[in-house]
Amino acid sequence: MSRSIAYTSSPLLASPTPVWRSKFIVAVIALSFAGLVGRAVYIQVIENEFFQRQGEVRFARTLALPASRGRILDRNGIVLASSIPVPSIWAIPEDVPRDPAGLKKLAKLLDLPLAELNKKLEDEDKTFVWLKRQVDESVGNEIAALGLKGVYQRKEYKRQYPEGEAAAHVVGFTNVEDQGQEGMELTFNKALGGRDGSRRVIKDRMGRVVEDVREQIAPVDGRDLQLSIDSKVQFFAYQTLKEAVLAHKAKAGSVVVLDVQTGEVLALANYPSFVPDKRRNLSGAQLRNRALTDTFEPGSTMKPFIIAAALNQGMVTPESKIQTAPGRMSIGSATISDTHPNGLLSVTEVIQKSSNVGTVKIAMQMAPRKMWEMYSQVGFGQKPELPFPGAVSGRLRPYKSWRPIEQATMSYGYGVSVSLFQLAHAYTIFGRDGDLVPVTMFKMNAPAVGVPVIEARHARDVRHMLHLVTGPGGTAQKAQAMGYSVGGKTGTAHKVEGKGYADKKYRGVFAGLAPIDAPRIAVAVMIDEPSNGQYYGGLTAAPVFSQTVQQTLRVLGIAPDQSVVPQVITDAVEESF
């Protein structure tokens, strides 16, 4: 039986409570609430922006929504460069288990040494590290199948180049961040790249998106770029050039193909080259766009411009006679000579036989200013108006500083330097009846309007001379093309070495037109330092011209203008240089 306790009669309740203690307790509670209110006001009103920023730093992220980079197309719509989505592998190092077996499998799939993988996981940021960017889709699937904690994937765009090394110097390439580094990729990086979008989100510590903070900004994809290049012409030109460089054991080579009617660049190839999406151990020699960046003394390929200037000034006619005997002449202390003594030659034969003496005798009748104007009007000494990084202007000194011997040597291509592209462009005046066509890397739908340089009849006269160069008695019989009439000029020049010229190092050059009566293309070829015993332009560069012309005109649908029976003579006449 329980006892009832009278709590109200407890002596503790009966004892009086000090008034100060109850006031103190009430004051403490009031101050606590006041502190809480003050802290809330400080956080939510006074320092609201600061604390919001701190929260965003820890949890809010702006995710880039990458724009798809525009494609680069050839004139027929064939893809030269495009982007495809691929996985990139990243990790949160502190979350990745240090399981030796799992890491070994991961390193093998990433094609990384295990030590390098461990270094990435140990030395880098503990919350994020790229393990490998832009891996194959199959590799990404295999990595996902491993199920490793802390290892994640992100979609990125990878650039592909279907034409490979053949079009590498034209198209260029991008880096892993999808930024253009060379060629068209670099020049038109902004237009091709478009504009990335963005998405503001809240993430948890595992990197997972919890919620979107604001409306996302959609990406704007880059625009496509359609070039004037014909991928078939480019491939044939590159392959022919490559075979010639290897056959002659040369250091390098270049070829340029221009449409005479529109000024379009149909092909621009160099060897050695590179594969744009496989760039390990690349050298500067492979990356250089030699047709635009390298200059050289063009040798006898300059002679047609001297003859054109003399014809245009009324100094000579194609039938005018020039005495070249005994095959040499002196200017001051210097002696200029021909490879073979030719005796009395007509102006036409001066080009056909490539006579240095005949060319110099004509040039020395000309005022230096007139000769300089001719060279300048066809683009020598001026940077080509092409959207390529590194294109050079060459060297053409002011005529007022020329000495007689310098004027003489410049008439046959020494003392002046040009790029192969400049040479090909200059030869369009002979294919267009005297006017220089503006060049372009983009597809045109109509013939271009050129700038007059010489009279049409004189251009046709020189064109006839160029045609004779490729026939019997000419220096470039190996330039003949099956089914098509051609014309052009050889050039062979010693290479500059130190302060003089190398005795046994040459560049073989050929520049010409086809078909000769109604030219459609201008082609220039340069073989740098052939070393198998043949070095004349008529033996090294002219055959490349021949094959390039045949393939190009067939691709363009130009009907043959002569019998398809080959007329090539195996023993070419050596040109003077």
**Residue 300 is a catalytic residue:** yes
Determine which one of 83, 273, 300, 546 is catalytic.
Answer: 300
The residues, any chain, with a CB within 8 Å of residue 475's CB and separated by 6 or more, are 300, 352, 353, 354, 469, 490, 536, 537, 538, 572, 573, 574, 575
Give the residues across from 525 on adjacent strands: 255, 510
Is residue 113 reached through a cis peptide bond, with omega within 30 degrees of 0 on the bond before it?
Answer: no
Q: What are phi and psi of 372, to 5 degrees?
A: -60, -40
Dihedrals phi, psi of 11, to nearest 5 degrees: -70, -25
HSE-CB of 292 using CA atoms within 13 angstroms: 20
| The Cα angle at residue 439 between residues 437 and 440, in degrees rounded to 5 | 145
Burial of 364 (0-12, 13-18, 19+ CB in 10 A): middle
Cβ count near 395 (within 10 Å): 13
For tokens 């625009």, name the residue. Answer: 223
Q: How many CB atoms are closer than 10 A to CB 524?
A: 31
Dihedrals phi, psi of 564, to nearest 5 degrees: -80, 0
Structure tokens at 276: 């744009």
Which H/E stretch holds residue 543? helix 542-555
Query: What is the rounded CA–CA span in Å between residue 173 and residue 183?
Result: 7
Q: Check if the beta carbon of residue 305 is closer than 8 Å to that of residue 404.
A: no
DSSP string, 229-242: --HHHHHHHHHHHH
Q: How far is CA 265 from CA 56, 103, 170, 388, 419, in A?
A: 53, 51, 10, 12, 15
3-class SS of residue 215:
coil
Q: Which residues are catalytic?
A: 300
